[in-house]
Amino acid sequence: MQEEGIKMERDFVSVIILNYNGRKFLKDCLDTISNQSVDNYEIILVDNNSTDGSVEFVKANYPHVKVIECKENYGFAKGNNIGVTYAKGRYIILLNNDTKVKPNYVEALYKTIKQREDYGLVGTTTLIGDKGFTSRSTLNVIGYWIPKVFKKDIEIFGGPGYSLIFDRKKVPIPFDDDYFIYNEDVYLAWLIRLKGYNATHTLESPVWHYGSGTMGSRSKFMIFHGEKNRLMNLLIFYEGRTFIKLFPLFLLSMVFVPIRAFILYGSNCYLDAYVKAYWWVLRNFGIIMDKRKKIQTQRKVRDEEIFKYMSYKLSGDNIGKFINLFAKLYCKIVGVRTYDMQ
């Protein structure tokens, strides 16, 4: 959906910055994104009904920024989707408010996504000190990010939600509104892959990211939405035959992950948030199946092709060594071949 009267321009970039009570981050973010080596871009700030003076600050100091004021906090997914409807660029950059970028940031992303017709998405590396860093992580077969899998920095399953560019001709709207926040970047990456497109990193312009600047650290809210959306991704994106093959691993994850959380965090493991997420999925199963039908009609490649960018590992730490061995053996038995099994 495109906001009425806004015409999409082929070689134009729209930078969308979502904000919710993030005024303390906005100066660094807007100062750096406003000072770029190219001029074929616009900046759109979508404000999720902030109460900290964010909107007033932006309007007073950055008149070139288009401000979209939401009447309530729509979350990361719907907030960014709203921003896309107001954008005139074919290429959309999603940038967190708690970031700082280099002067070649827009140029680097734009040039990279234009390099190959099959690129649907390009991500950036994270800036640590003066060097760009990537964890070489990918998605595992049960929907979690696993670090240190890929052999090259440019290899990715999909880009980080805090800094990426995607082609709106390939994916008109990036997210599902019901995700609210967390794992919506997995949704976009998986959709790109399912539609037969590719993704990569640009190493030319890493981003400084404060991290959890708006939402804070581990919480019940984070676990609920993260788990809810992880399970929705599995139900929506896998082919039926794949889902049946991997179903035992999905059940295992629903036991192993809360236990692992208890080992690591003790009383702060928030087991009730996991239960709440699983119950939400059960109660909304029919709605999720409707979402699945819409996604599966867009499929251009089989899961076997997507597995080439995923991992069998269920855990990225020492706690999960045994469970990883089991998962590898299980994947071999059921005929699932991931990147780290090639």
Q: If you write DSSP's letter for every residue of 273-332 in order, what string do you get? A: HHHHHHHHHHHTHHHHHHHHHHHHTT--S-HHHHGGG-B--S-SSGGGHHHHHHHHHHHH
- Neighbouring CB atoms inside 10 A of 248's CB total 11
**pTM of the predicted structure, to 2 decimals:** 0.91
Q: Which helix (H) or strand (E) holds 166?
A: strand 163-167
Render each residue's pLDDT in the chain as its tens digit; 342 residues. Answer: 555 545 556 789 999 999 999 999 999 999 999 999 999 999 999 999 999 999 999 999 999 999 999 999 999 999 999 999 999 999 999 999 999 999 999 999 999 999 999 999 999 888 755 555 566 778 999 999 887 777 777 778 988 889 999 999 999 999 999 999 999 999 999 999 999 999 998 888 889 888 754 555 678 999 999 999 999 999 999 999 999 999 999 998 888 888 877 877 777 778 889 999 999 999 999 999 999 999 999 999 999 999 999 999 987 666 668 888 999 999 999 999 999 987
Q: According to the model, what pLDDT value does residue 2 have? A: 55
Contact by Cβ (8 Å): 275, 160:
no
Q: According to the model, what pLDDT value does residue 212 have? A: 59
Q: According to the model, what pLDDT value does residue 194 have? A: 98
- Neighbouring CB atoms inside 10 A of 294's CB total 10
* Cα distances (Å, whole numbers) of residue 6 to 11, 23, 29: 15, 28, 26
| Dist CA 28 CA 33 (whole Å) | 9
Query: Which residues make Cβ contacts (< 8 Å) with residue 57, sequence separation at least 6?
Result: 23, 26
Query: Which residues make Cβ contacts (< 8 Å) with residue 271, sequence separation at least 6?
Result: 258, 261, 262
* Cα distances (Å, whole numbers) of residue 25 to 4, 6, 91, 205, 208: 31, 29, 24, 20, 12
Distance of CA 146 to the CA centre of its chain: 14
Q: Which residue has the tokens 């890493």?
A: 206
- Neighbouring CB atoms inside 10 A of 63's CB total 9
Q: According to the model, what pLDDT value does residue 288 have? A: 97
Q: What is the DSSP letter of 179?
A: G
Torsion of CA 85, 49, 177, 283, to 10 degrees: -160
Contact by Cβ (8 Å): 74, 20:
no
